Structure 1
């Protein structure tokens, strides 16, 4: 695999398994022998908490890093699954307001990541909004994936999000590639799930990535236990993320096309 690859996982809607996707892809790539850094850009600190860190007890976090108050390496913590993490807590909500007043505010994360060596893959958990933190994530990334819950209202914000991606491509990051939508919390038994996917693919001309991530109770159990869904488990969700991670690594190494999903009608 040549160079370092930075992947943003973003959707302005919450509750679409964005954080689960970041943690599980990271863990699956560590299993493949990659050195992985995860970045929590959500002031709620869900990724940080789900990987066993207490957001309220962090001495420093991505907040101070983005504002240039500490070097990025000083904020990185190690997780039990072999990933490194640039953690977040509620202080980050304040960084959003402070960054707004600064020139070049969209490039703060990109500048910080440039100072961190030794990683093959960086995966960014963007907050469920289209503010300056998400713009930082998209500006720092090579690729972006949009997790999409397969429910009727889930894609109401997709058009707006895609416009934001286009803006970023035109202004701060012309090299950003939109890899596609990732169906999450997917139940292949329901025609409703399939209809939503077909509608999204058609309406937005957006590739739908394969495999879809099935709905499983393991995800809730994993985040409550402070580990990713992959850890020590063989379940449908873990297998799907392992397959997606392998596809991404192949894509980055050889340019092999990512597998896409066409629901059976």
Structure 2
């Protein structure tokens, strides 16, 4: 096998990676993976476009185990690592997003529960994540489990979170992106998330029964659009838990892309042990194992989301 040929010196203005032709040096998948890993380890090398206005994205799917919370925290971390200010609101009483972002969420800690009841502001409840100086989280405590009963008797109960996000207190954090992680249900907490958001991101796992129950979620989104939030729309479909060894993953991927078209991100998230392990260490996969396939996939998905937002801005 012949030796790979590199140019003696890069031309003016070229980066080391762009100063040679891929075909000339025998470009390989391993080299491509190495380049992607470098972007994770050195995020300053890649600049993501800042949105023209704040994007509020609710991540929803009433099915459990589809990678909803995992996708929320890793997409948020991917954007934050590249200089964008990101706020994650953990609206799931289990508090898994809070755990993954390294934010305290024991009972008694200022949380989204007090925010929904109007007792404190978003800024009072938000804590900086250990993952990035640009990443904040409003944690969920076990107190949130009973909040739906308390919200029932409140005025404008479906808009409590929207009210909190419209307050001046949010400007203390000045996020470019707000991600809202919903519980695996279609109850009042999820409705609050849909009313407060502009966009919905739906993670769909590449497994059997992937689309089961999705129709009900889409009908609920339509109801919220009709009665509570006409500006809401499904902007993104993210395929998760993709296993390239199975035909089923390809079949589900093809079916989802056929149904949702361009709403589906090109990037798919692989089934990965590293992604599953990371929350146990209070981390996202981007900091737990930056060079892993899962980490690079979430970084690619975050970049795609940011670039799509920029395209809509210029359209």
Same fold? TM cut 0.5: yes
Count matched residues. 257
Q: Give a deviation string over 1:174-213, Cα, whole Å, max 9, x none.
A: 1112023211110123111122233344467784322110
What does residue 93 of structure 1 align with? 145
Q: Give a deviation string over 1:62-115, Cα, whole Å, max 9, x none.
A: 001001011221111111112110000111111111112222111111111122
Provide the rounded CA distance (Å) in 2 between the counterparts of 1:98 and 1:233: 42
Q: What are the equivalent positions in structure 2 for 1:167-182 lying under 5 Å apart?
A: 167-182=223-238
> Which one of 67, 74, 78 corresponds to residue 128 of structure 2?
78
What does residue 120 of structure 1 align with? 176
Secondary structure at the aligned position of 1:165 is classed as helix
The structure having more radius of gyration, on CA atoms, is: 2
Provide the rounded CA distance (Å) in 1 between the counterparts of 2:276 and 2:108: 24
What does residue 246 of structure 1 align with? 303
Secondary structure at the aligned position of 1:181 is classed as strand
Segments of structure 1 that go 5 or more residues without pairing to the other structure are 258-265
Segments of structure 2 that go 5 or more residues without pairing to the other structure are 1-50
Which deviates the most, 85-94 or 192-201? 192-201
What does residue 61 of structure 1 align with? 111
What does residue 166 of structure 1 align with? 222
Q: 1:191 to 1:234 in 2, by over 3 A?
A: same
What does residue 7 of structure 2 align with? none
Provide the rounded CA distance (Å) in 2 between the counterparts of 1:206 and 1:134: 25
Provide the rounded CA distance (Å) in 1 between the counterparts of 2:236 and 2:305: 12
Task: Kindly indicate whether residue 99 of structure 2 is the aligned counterpart of residue 42 of structure 1.
Answer: no
TM-score (norm 1): 0.91
How far 1:23 moved relative to its partner?
A: 0.8
Secondary structure at the aligned position of 1:233 is classed as coil
Provide the rounded CA distance (Å) in 2 between the counterparts of 1:44 and 1:119: 24
